[in-house]
């Protein structure tokens, strides 16, 4: 029996000489020490031995097991160490391109707001913010919107209480700023607005607007036109044209809706511009004297203009995006294109 154990050990020693890889060394370990390995086979011989020899033999097998484990572990360490110089000489090609780490991006809406901020910063506008949960006073009353105006109903505005709501327009910030500061005022106010619209390709119950307000002595409609033209040319490109159509807002007089030549078809006519060649991008006008009264500005002394644009809308026009819902789905395949 003892010879058998010696034989196992010397076989192992012979085998280790031929092994050069970690994988083969691990295999060797399984062959000797695994559940169906050689050492376990030796253990199985014990019951067949005479009773008085069993204990001694068992002890020797256990001792051999420890020796074998030491020999193989040493072998594993040795062959693993040899892999490193091998990587240097054979496997590691420093000319191969590396894996590019994935870098996140700003959401297209954030990018558009950043672009808008930049254009207006150059024209001397400061960026200000107002609350999304707003008093009815700032969303309607101070903006000269009569109590029976349809936009005040809960078909058009989310109410939290009778006098508290989710703002439906960023024009609220006009009032908040004028209450706090005296002219000259030159601000833009980006942010979220909420309206209970049914969601479809063009509507969402939440979207973004950027409000603009310029108040000083002698501000004219020509200034409004000049500033908007500058913005449109910078944001959409020099070849884009602008036109103003008379319109109505309770807080501006006169009021205008501003169109640009369709950036999708270049003004030739397509489904986006309903084959008219023009698309509306914002509302604007001269601040109504009633609004100045609400904030205790001298309406004889000051004039001003205001405008409000939809951020999703101009982003869609700039990039040819046909469905507003894409902005809110957080699909990386969409977002990574910007």
E strand residue ranges, 242-277: 242-249, 252-261
Please report whether residue 204 would count as binding ligand PHE according to CB under 6 A: no
Please tell me whether residue 285 binds ligand PHE under the rule CB under 6 A. Answer: yes
* Token code pair at residue 79: 């062959």
User: In the stretch 164-183, what mask flags binding to ligand PHE with x, by CB under 6 A?
Assistant: -----x-x------------
Among 128, 145, 279, 284, binds ligand PHE (CB under 6 A): 284
Class of residue 9 by CB neighbours under 10 A (exposed 0-12, middle 13-18, buried 19+) = middle
DSSP-assigned beta bridge partners for residue 215: 185, 304
Q: With binding defined as CB under 6 A, does residue 283 bind ligand PHE?
A: yes
Please identify, using beta-carbon distances, which residue of 79 and 286 lies nearer to ligand PHE. 286
Stretch that binds ligand PHE, among 69-77, 82-90, 278-286, 319-327 (CB under 6 A): 278-286
Q: State in angstroms the smallest separation of the CB of 283 from ligand PHE.
A: 3
Query: Residue 199 Cβ, how far from ligand PHE at the closest point, in Å?
Result: 18
Cβ at position 311, least distance to ligand PHE in Å: 12
CB atoms within 10 A of CB 272: 15
Closest distance between ligand PHE and the C-beta of residue 236, in Å? 19
Stretch that binds ligand PHE, among 79-87, 268-276, 302-310, 314-322 (CB under 6 A): 302-310
C-alpha 171: how far from chain center? 27
Task: Tell the smallest beta-carbon distance from residue 157 to ligand PHE (Å).
Answer: 12
Cα separation, 291 vs 208, whole angstroms: 23
In the complex with ligand PHE, the residue whose CB is nearer, 57 or 194, is 194
DSSP for 199-247, written as a single string: PSSS--SEEEEEEEEEEETT--HHHHHHHHHHHHHHHH-TT--EEEEEE
Please, what is the minimum distance in Å from the beta carbon of residue 256 to ligand PHE? Answer: 8
Of 276, 208, 277, 264, the closest CA to residue 236 belongs to 264
Residue 10 backbone phi and psi in degrees, to 5: -70, -30
Determine if 139 is a binding residue for ligand PHE (CB under 6 A): no
Query: Which residue's CB atom is positioned nearest to ligand PHE?
Result: 308
The yes or no reply on residue 249 touching ligand PHE (CB under 6 A) is: yes
Closest CA to 307 of 261, 252, 262: 252
When asked if residue 125 is in the footprint of ligand PHE (CB under 6 A), the reply is no
Interacting residue with ligand PHE among 291, 308, 315, 321 (CB under 6 A):
308
Residue 48 · residue 41 · CB < 8 Å: no
Residues that bind ligand PHE (CB under 6 A): 169, 171, 249, 252, 283-285, 306-308
């Amino acid at each position: 029996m003892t010879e058998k154990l010696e034989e196992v050990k010397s076989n192992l020693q012979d085998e280790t000489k031929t092994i050069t890889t970690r994988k083969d060394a691990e295999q060797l370990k399984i062959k000797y020490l695994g559940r169906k390995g050689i050492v376990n086979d030796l253990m199985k011989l014990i019951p067949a031995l005479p009773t008085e020899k069993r204990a001694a033999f068992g002890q020797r097998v256990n001792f051999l097991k420890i020796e074998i484990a030491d020999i193989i572990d040493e072998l594993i360490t040795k062959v693993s160490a040899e892999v490193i110089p091998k990587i240097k000489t054979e496997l590691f090609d420093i000319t191969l391109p590396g894996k590019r780490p994935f870098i996140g991006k700003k959401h297209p809406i954030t990018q558009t707001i950043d672009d808008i901020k930049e254009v207006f910063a150059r024209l001397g506008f400061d960026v200000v913010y107002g609350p999304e949960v707003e008093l009815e006073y700032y969303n309607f009353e101070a903006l000269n919107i009569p109590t029976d105006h349809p936009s005040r109903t809960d078909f058009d505005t989310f109410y939290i209480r009778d006098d508290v709501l989710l703002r439906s327009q960023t024009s609220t910030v006009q009032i908040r700023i004028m209450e706090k500061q005296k002219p000259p005022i030159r601000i833009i106010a980006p942010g979220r607005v909420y309206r209970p619209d049914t969601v479809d390709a063009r509507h969402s119950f939440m979207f973004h607007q950027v409000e603009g307000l310029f108040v000083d002595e002698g501000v004219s409609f020509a200034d409004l036109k000049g500033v908007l033209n500058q913005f449109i040319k910078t944001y959409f490109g020099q070849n884009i044209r602008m036109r103003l159509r008379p319109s109505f807002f309770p807080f501006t007089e006169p009021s205008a809706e501003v169109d640009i030549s369709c950036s999708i078809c270049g003004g030739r006519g397509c489904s986006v511009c309903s084959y008219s060649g023009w698309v509306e991008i914002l509302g604007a006008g001269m601040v109504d004297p009633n609004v100045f009264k609400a904030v205790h500005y001298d309406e004889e002394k000051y004039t001003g203009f205001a405008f409000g644009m939809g951020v999703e809308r101009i982003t869609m026009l700039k990039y040819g995006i046909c469905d507003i819902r894409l902005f809110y789905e957080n699909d990386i395949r969409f977002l990574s294109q910007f």
